[in-house]
Amino acid sequence: MSAPPAMTLQPLDTSIRTLVQQVASALPPGDPAYAVGGFLRDALLGRTSYDLDIAVAGDALAIARRLADALGGAFVPLDEERQVARIAFHHQGQPWHIDVAALQGDLSQDLARRDFTINAMAVPLAALLSDTWAAHVVDPHGGREDLQRKLVRWVSESVFQEDGIRLLRAVRIAARLGFQIDPATAEGIRHDAPWLDGVAGERQRDELLAVLACQGAMAHLYVMDSLDLLCRVFPELGEGKGVSQPKEHHWDVFHHNVETVGAAEGILLHSFQPAWVLDHVPWDDSLAAYFGETAAEGHSRATLLKLAALLHDIAKPETKTLEPSGRIRFFGHHTLGAEMTRGALHRLRLSRRGAVMVAGMVEHHLRPGQMSQGMDLPTAKAIYRYFRDVGEVALDTLYLNLSDYLSARGPMLEQAEWEAYTRIIRHILETGDRRERSAVVRLVDGHELMDALALSPGPNLGRLLEAVQEAQATGEITNKEEALAFAQQLLASSPEAHYA
């Protein structure tokens, strides 16, 4: 095999060199310190990184505290027994992390304990200030050659048994960099996959969300499955393998869930084949910004949408029934699916907000298509109630529903039916956009209703107020006088009615 072409490396960015100079000046004189890990790997690839890993020969915790003081950052101990700490700070307006760890033995021994060859390199910290910094890289395991070959390759056959999270990390690094996993390493992952079972949920969560955040997430999930990892993170998904669906579905339940991730990403990136699919999907800069918002664990709404897409039908195997006519049904799979999703995300220690958002999408993912008969457009009241009930993820759920529809049909998708269906979703979006609706000011409040209609506080008052607000949202009433008249009419027609 011929050698790959050599990489052309430039001096580091001036801002980074300034930071390295600050760090080097704050370190104890005479103690060796090396830049290692992902920062060095990315620098060799010409990629910008704002996470610097440093290995030091001295007391790493004491050195990290010293650095935190010098940089005006926060000191966070990560592993006191192994002497690993983090400094979180800002440099020239950019958030940074510096992880400081004690060398495990000498430099050669330390690098031999690392996970992948492209992470098992080091360079003296002070050398980063030189224009020829790359000439000083210590690379005992062929990491630079693997960077050129775009390979993720293990340092030794014991790496996954030493820390099971490395099994997922291999996929995440390959996904992020657009690399392939070395065949021998992939076989090692399959062999050692059971070691993932003992890894803490929050560590699995971080790697999984990082994979979902990458472009091509669907393909990376299939890689995880081929390596016996995906259904170790979510055993619920594995139950869908081979579970058939009605003839309207192209995939079994498992593949449908994974393919829905790809459909969601295609919509969010506005890149899909066939291209005519996107002609009928509502999209603009404000929607792109919306899905780019940070939602949970530092990840975007787009990433949580892809997570919901992966899990949206996990309850189908448990709810599947076969009628005498041969018709396949999945009664209640959305509600049981939301419950199962909450359990799975609790296992992964996802934040409460993130779990509520994802489970909410799963619970309501069918609703946009059930708000009208046939291809009729939903009523204003139905749309109002949808946004009211689904709340913070009402908009996200519309796009999950579109993704679900796309992946259900797969290559059987017909342009006319897709255009008709997206007309419904577009109408829901344009009529009841959650962001606009949240800003509506009530025409009357509870105190005004009590004063005007001689009512007492209680559940009926709340239901009456909700009915008034619904009428306002759907355009039936437009001012305070109409609101009071509407409420009085409701009371007169049915004083004990439940109005919502």
What's the whole-number mean pLDDT along residues 472-497?
A: 71
Average pLDDT, the chain: 90
Over 70: is that where the pLDDT of 499 sits?
A: no
pTM equals 0.86
- The confidence score (pLDDT) of residue 7 equals 55
Q: Which residue has the tokens 């690399």?
A: 179
pLDDT at 443: 72
CA-angle at 93, arms to 88 and 96, nearest 5°: 25
CATH homologous superfamily of 10-144 equals: Beta Polymerase, domain 2 (3.30.460.10)
**Which residue has better confidence, 300 or 8?**
300
Of the given ranges (278-282, 424-428, 464-468, 494-498), which has the lowest mean pLDDT? 494-498
Any idea how long the chain is? 500
pLDDT, tens digit (0-9, with 9 covering 90-100), for 188-212: 999 999 999 999 999 999 999 999 9
Cβ(363)–Cβ(335) under 8 Å?
yes
First-to-last alpha carbon distance for the chain, in angstroms, is: 72
Give how far Cα 320 sits from Cα of 74, 87, 98, 246, 310, Å: 52, 51, 50, 11, 18
94 backbone dihedrals φ, ψ, rounded to 5°: -110, 130
- Give the pLDDT score at 462: 73
- Please tell me the least confidently modeled range out of 40-49, 86-95, 434-443: 434-443
**Token pair listed for 47:** 């990629």
Q: What percent of the chain has pLDDT over 90?
A: 73
Residue 392: pLDDT over 80:
yes
Q: What is the DSSP string of 343-390?
A: HHHHHTT--HHHHHHHHHHHHHTTGGGGSSSTTPPPPHHHHHHHHHHH
pLDDT tens digit sequence for 208-251: 999 999 999 999 999 999 999 999 999 999 999 999 999 889 99
**Which of 47, 64, 46 minimizes the C-alpha distance to 55?**
64
Alpha-carbon distance 403 to 444, whole Å?
39
Inter-residue contact 308 to 400 (CB < 8 Å):
yes
Q: How confident is the model at residue 440 (pLDDT cuts 50, 70, 90)?
A: low
Q: Domain boundaries in the chain?
A: 10-144, 150-233, 236-435, 446-493
Q: Are 107 and 97 in contact (CB under 8 A)?
A: no
Its sign, for the CA torsion 338, 341, 346, 352, is negative
Asked if residues 199 and 218 have their Cβ atoms less than 8 Å apart, the reply is no
What values do phi and psi take at 338, rounded to 5? -65, -40
Q: Which residues pair with 320 in a beta bridge?
A: 330
Structure tokens at 200: 């803490």
Task: Kindly state the average pLDDT of the residues 476-492.
Answer: 75
Fold entry, domain 150-233:
Hydrophobic Seed Protein (1.10.110)
* pLDDT confidence band for 495 (50 / 70 / 90): low
Report the amino acid identity of residue 131: D
> Which pLDDT does position 457 carry in this prediction?
78
Q: How far is it, in rounded angstroms, from Cα 171 to Cα 369? A: 35
pLDDT tens across 71-124, in order? 999 999 988 888 999 999 999 989 999 999 999 999 999 999 999 999 999 999
296-325 burial, b at 16+ Cβ within 10 Å, e below that, comes to bbebbbbbbbbbbbbbbbbbbbbbbeeeee
Contact (CB, 8 A) for 227 and 183? no
In what side-by-side order are the strands of the sheet with 51-56? 74-79, 84-91, 94-102, 51-56, 33-36, 122-124
- pLDDT digits 0-9 by tens, 121-165: 999 999 999 989 999 999 999 999 999 999 999 999 999 999 999
CA geometry: angle 55, 60, 63, nearest 5 deg:
105
- d(CA 467, CA 452) in angstroms, rounded, equals 16
